[in-house]
Each structure stands twice: as C-alpha cells, then as structure tokens.
Amino acid sequence: MTDLESGQGVHSTERNTTTSVGLCPHCNPASGHPGKPSGVEASDNEGGSLVCLWGEVDESLRDQASLAMAYVMTRPGGVVIDTAQVEFLDSSGLAFILQLLRSGEEEGRPVVLRDPPELLLDMLDLVGLGGQVELTFSST
C-alpha cells in the first residue's frame, strides 16, 4: 500500500495533521527540515493541501515533486505552496509550481503561493505571470 492509498502524507511514516496556522508540519522555521537539505513534501491542510518546498529545488527533486503532485490531485480543496525556505529554483522547480497553478485553475480551486523568495517572483515575471498569482506573506 502506498502513502497515497493509506491516507498518509508523502515522505512520512505518520499521518499528517494540520497545524493551526497551516505551516509545514515537518518544518522548523528556525532550522528547516532536519536531515533534508532540499525537498518537496505535501500534506493535508485546513481546507485542502499544503505543499512545502525548501532548499535547492531542482530536477533532482523530480520524484518528490511527482509524489507531491499525485497527493494534491487526490485531495479536495485549495492548495498552499509554501516557498519560504527555497534557496534556489531552476526551471524544473518552476515547472512544478506552474503545474500546481495550472491544475488549480483547471479544477477551479484556489492555489496560493506563500512567502515566495524574490528569485521566484522574478521568474514569474519572466514567464508573464507576475501579478497574476495569488500571494500571501506570513508575519514572521
């Protein structure tokens, strides 16, 4: 049985739960994801899904991104993409984010980009999506 079939979060042996503020349940804001310098994870979030990206988001994370996308596609509701801890993003990482945005648009569900770094905002401008993606910024 896969994590998706069992209802467990991607890359987790425990059932994911939602925190009250919708932060990545595996992430410590001060130290990131211990033992994982880069990654993509998806979990349940209040009213939808939370996708956390951190570190160097590039083609080496393609398998993690595919699992996260599959997880999101099986859940109802909106999607929050947390990019607060992204240090580097290549075209593969951008393509993953664009795929999440496109699937949300096609399915009529909201997708919000939380705490995007300047690099990501510049990339969205470059592909003509600057100002067209819903952004949210945490108070921390």
Over residues 48-61, mean pLDDT:
96
- Compute CA distances 125 → 20, 77, 84, 117, 122, whole Å: 32, 27, 18, 13, 5
85-115 pLDDT, tens digit per residue, is 999 999 999 999 999 999 999 999 999 999 9
pTM of the model: 0.78
- Cα(38)–Cα(53) distance, rounded to whole angstroms? 8
Q: Is the pLDDT of residue 65 over 80?
A: yes
Pairing relation of β-strands 134-136 and 78-89? unpaired
Domain spanning 3-136, CATH class: alpha beta
Q: Which residue has the higher pLDDT, 23 or 36?
A: 36
Provide CB contacts within 8 A for 113, sequence distance 6+: 81, 83, 97, 120, 133, 134, 135, 136
Backbone angles phi, psi at 89, to 5 degrees: -145, 120
